[in-house]
Amino acid sequence: MSFLAIEWNPSIGIDLGFFIIRWYSLMFVTAFLLGLHLMKKIYVEDKIPVEKLDVIFMYVFISMLIGMRLGDVFFYSWSYYQNHLLEIFLPLKQINGTWKFTGFTGFASHGAAIGIPLAMYFYAKKHLKKPWLFILDRLAIMVALAGFFIRFGNFFNSEIYGKETGTSFGVIFKAAGETVARHPTQLYEAFSYLALFVALWRLYWKTNKKHQTGYLFGLFMVVLWSLRFFIEFLKEAQVDGREDWVFNSLNTGQVLSVPFVLIGLWLMFNKSNKVEN
C-alpha cells in the first residue's frame, strides 16, 4: 500500500535546448549568490570593506570543494582510492583498463567542515586582521543556509535518501529505481538547516551574541551536527561495509559528527572567549 506516498521522478534540470541547467547545480549557485548578498549586509554592519567579499568567496569555494573531496576519499572510500590514487585528483576513472571521464563522484560534508575553517584561518589573518572565530561566527550563518539549498539539490537528484518507512507514507524515488516509500531525509535535513539559519540570523541581528567570539559558530556546530547525528538513523547506508560499525548501531557519519558537537559545546561555554565591544 503506497497510495499516500509521493512518487518523485523530477527532470534532471531546466532544458534550454542547447544546455541543461541541472537542479543540483542551480541550488548550489543559488546558495552562493544569496549567501554573498546576505554576507554583504553583515560586512556593512561590522564596518568591513565589502571588497573583501570577493576574496572570501574564493577561499570558501576552493576549500569546500577540496575538503569535501578529500573527506569522501579518506573518511568513506579509502579502501578504493588507496589503489587508485590518481582518481583522487582527476575527474577520471579507469574502467576495464580504459580511462573514462566521470567527473568527481564523491563528496563528504565532514571534509568541508574541516577544509573551510582552515581556509578561514588564513583569510582572517591575511585579509581581515581579526580573530579566526570572528569570521567563523558570521560564515556559519551562511553555511546553514547553503546546507538548505544543497540538501534540496540532493532531493532533486534522488540521492542520500532514507530507509523504507514501512508504511504508506513517504517518498518513492522513482528516478533511483525505488518502488517503496522511503524517508525523504534530504528534506528533513534541508528544513532543519533552514531553521538553524533563521535562528543564527536573528541572534546576530537581535542580540549581542555576535560580540561573544565563538558563540555563534559553536551553536552552529552543536545544532547542525546533532541534527546530522539523529537523522543518520533514518538514512540508507551510503558506503558498503562502513555502516553500523560502532556498537553495531552508529555509522561513519555519526561518529564523525560527535567531535564537531563537542568542539561546538566548548566554543559556546568557554569563558575565556573574548567579548567584543
pLDDT digits over 160-193, tens only?
899 999 888 899 999 888 989 999 999 999 999 9
| 3 state DSSP class of 250 | strand
Q: How far is residue 257's CA from residue 251's CA, in Å, rounded to a whole number? A: 10
- Prediction pTM value: 0.84
**241 vs 108, residue with greater confidence:** 108
Q: How far is residue 239's CA from residue 250's CA, in Å, rounded to a whole number? A: 13
Model confidence at 94, in pLDDT bands (50, 70, 90)?
low
What are the residue ranges spanned by the domains of the chain? 21-269
In this prediction, residue 222 carries a pLDDT of 97
Average pLDDT over residues 197-204: 98
Instruction: Please report, as a single letter, which amino acid is at residue 21.
Output: I
* CA 74 vs CA 39, 77, 240, 243: distances in Å: 32, 6, 15, 15
Model confidence at 1, in pLDDT bands (50, 70, 90)?
very low
pLDDT at 276 over 70: no
pLDDT at 155 over 60: yes
pLDDT at 241 over 60: no
Q: How far is residue 118's CA from residue 96's CA, in Å, rounded to a whole number? A: 38
Alpha helices in 46-131 (DSSP H): 52-71, 78-81, 86-89, 109-123
**275 vs 38, residue with greater confidence:** 38
Cell of 44: 556593512
